[in-house]
A and B are shown apart, each in its own frame.
Chain A
């Protein structure tokens, strides 16, 4: 599985947008970019995923660079409930079933 690089931690203020970066310079053409998050003392939960085009859902937006070597998870208005560890994960189409978790980015949201 190709590797991803994320900052260890980020801070944001409540009701402000948050941009969580992820670098994946060795991404292959069939790798999907997935984001999961883990709230304190809970299991991970799916946030969003994409291949090439930007994606939006009710939780977040995913902006993918044109060369696909980086992506950004965007929370449009952070709330205190968004404080979590965010994981950027590559999954190959036709590849392994497992999710490979790195250490992720710990997001702190200040009131």
Chain B
């Protein structure tokens, strides 16, 4: 199993540009999550999904959108990039909501 994979590893965006961060898991997990981590801080939940077609907001959803059309994929969309979205983004998955979460390697995003 590859586990949780994320692409790209690193990206530089200009203010106002848009992009999609990709996340795929091959463990047939129902739950998937997006977190962001600012320098020196812990992770904060952006959005999560309890299954295909179902998503919900986390602590810091503003400026982001998600969709979950398949069990495997959970892309995160930034529509109008802002410098405040400079961060490292981690995708995670779990079998059920309160089970162990498995994290991807992260996407480092720099908005200039």
CA distance A103 to B4 in the complex (A): 23
Binds A, one of B13-21, B62-70, B72-80, B95-103: B95-103
Determine whether B92 belongs to the interface, using a CB cutoff of 8 Å to chain A: yes
Closest B-chain residue to A101, C-beta based? B42
- Asked if A97 and B105 make an inter-chain contact with CB atoms under 8 angstroms apart, the answer reads no
- Asked if A101 and B98 make an inter-chain contact with CB atoms under 8 angstroms apart, the answer reads no
Size of the B side of the interface (Cβ < 8 Å), in residues, is: 26
Determine whether A102 belongs to the interface, using a CB cutoff of 8 Å to chain B: yes
Interface centre among A41, A42, A44, A46 (most CB of B within 10 A): A44
- Asked if B45 and A43 make an inter-chain contact with CB atoms under 8 angstroms apart, the answer reads no
CA distance A103 to B105 in the complex (A): 19
Size of the A side of the interface (Cβ < 8 Å), in residues, is: 18
Tell me the A79-95 residues at the B interface (CB within 8 Å).
87, 91, 93, 95
Q: Which of A93, A99, A103 contacts B101 (CB 8 A)?
A: A99
By a beta-carbon cutoff of 8 Å, the part of chain A in contact with chain B is 41-46, 49, 87, 91, 93, 95, 97-99, 101-104
- Asked if A99 and B43 make an inter-chain contact with CB atoms under 8 angstroms apart, the answer reads yes
A residues near B105, Cβ cutoff 8 Å:
42-43
- Asked if A46 and B40 make an inter-chain contact with CB atoms under 8 angstroms apart, the answer reads no
Known contacts A43-B106, A45-B103, A46-B101: A97-B48 contact under CB 8 Å: yes
Closest A-chain residue to B41, C-beta based? A103
Closest A-chain residue to B58, C-beta based? A98
Least CB distance from A102 to B in Å reads 5
By a beta-carbon cutoff of 8 Å, the part of chain B in contact with chain A is 4, 31, 33, 35, 40-45, 48, 50, 58-59, 90, 92, 94, 97-98, 100-106
- Asked if A44 and B48 make an inter-chain contact with CB atoms under 8 angstroms apart, the answer reads no
- Asked if B43 and A44 make an inter-chain contact with CB atoms under 8 angstroms apart, the answer reads yes
Known contacts A46-B101, A91-B98, A102-B42: A97-B31 contact under CB 8 Å: yes
Known contacts A101-B42, A101-B44: A42-B106 contact under CB 8 Å: yes
Least CB distance from A11 to B in Å reads 18
